[in-house]
Structure 1
């Protein structure tokens, strides 16, 4: 049995409104165990005997079936999430800034997003990590940043999702 973090993209922030208790029930009914949600923004910790790709596929199918939306889930074993969090390359808490990790399931998309560092303004920091993009941006400028403008495009929706470091800390508790 492996403990996974499953990050649901676009839940309770982009027009798809789900109650986390209902999400937990749907995932439990799909066969996952020890399911718990973290915050209301689509973060789930669960146990499964499946490999990571199976967790993603099974969770997406359960959400689509139960809630009728085009669900996208990125799943990682909890130790991988812990390593990603520990590798954050910038100062974690900077007054006036948001610190983020964008999880990326597609290698080509990861490469495209990493190149945005060349287009970032002086206030935005972007660095490629192992399957992720680390970034930091002034508060209030997230949507106008190089990453923010790009992430809203349909091409990136099925293979990316972003979490701030405070959310990751809660997932890792």
Structure 2
């Protein structure tokens, strides 16, 4: 099975720093995953494995923690899940495509927690619900946005990572060995 691993919490310096994607790729290969490819420094990895998604998440997390010391959250998706997410983008061409973000999670989200989000005003930012992710349109400067990963994790009570939709599209179109 082909898996896409989206790491949450990668920082350019400090305890959650990934020194180089080549090091991350080696660590993942050493864990027994096959056909490993990485994409950009924020922590995107594609590989093949016969493990279940939950086992992949645990194994990748421990491998990174033990070898680099970074305590990162690991979100695991299949190609089909990412395709459904990209194809379900609710924002039409009147929106700046570069401002569309997808928020991914490993667990099914609680309807109660989702309902709480429906009643919040985000001052020009937009939130939409999909089957594989949450869609966010963030027209303002990233530093000023109200909709962010930390906010979503608090409200949804689960691990969340976000990527721009164009990053997910590029990730899915990468040439692999």
- TM-score between both structures, scaled by the size of structure 1: 0.84
Work out the CA distance in 2 between the residues paired with 1:140 and 1:169.
22
Q: Is there any run of 5+ residues in structure 2 with no aligned partner, and where?
A: none
- Structure 1 residue ranges, 4+ long, deviating more than 4 angstroms after superposition: 108-111
* TM-superposed deviation, 1:141: 4.5
1:129-148 matches, within 5 Å, as 129-141=130-142, 143-147=144-148
Partner of 1:4: 3
CA distance in 2, matches of 1:142, 1:112: 25
Change (3 A) 1:148 1:54: closer
Change (3 A) 1:72 1:146: closer
1:106-143 C-alpha deviation (Å, 9 max, x unpaired):
33567535632421335111112124211101130464
1:83 aligns with 2:84: yes
**C-alpha displacement of 1:43:** 0.5
Helix, strand or coil at the partner of 1:65:
helix
Counterpart position of 2:167? 167
Choose 72-81 or 119-128, whichever is displaced more: 119-128
For residue 51 of structure 2, give the secondary structure of its aligned residue in structure 1. coil
- Structure 2 CA distance for aligned equivalents of residues 129 and 88 of structure 1: 8
Structure with the higher strand share, 1 or 2: 1
Per-residue deviation, 1:98? 1.0
How big is the alpha-carbon RMSD for the aligned residues of Structure 1 and Structure 2? 2.7
Residues matched between the structures, number: 171
Measured after TM superposition, the shift of residue 27 of structure 1 is 0.3
Gapped runs of 5+ residues in structure 1? none
Residues 133 and 67 of structure 1, relative CA distance in 2, 3 Å threshold: same
Asked if 1 retains the 8 angstrom alpha-carbon contact of 2:149 and 2:161, the reply is no
* Kept after mapping to 2: 8 A contact 1:114/1:133: no
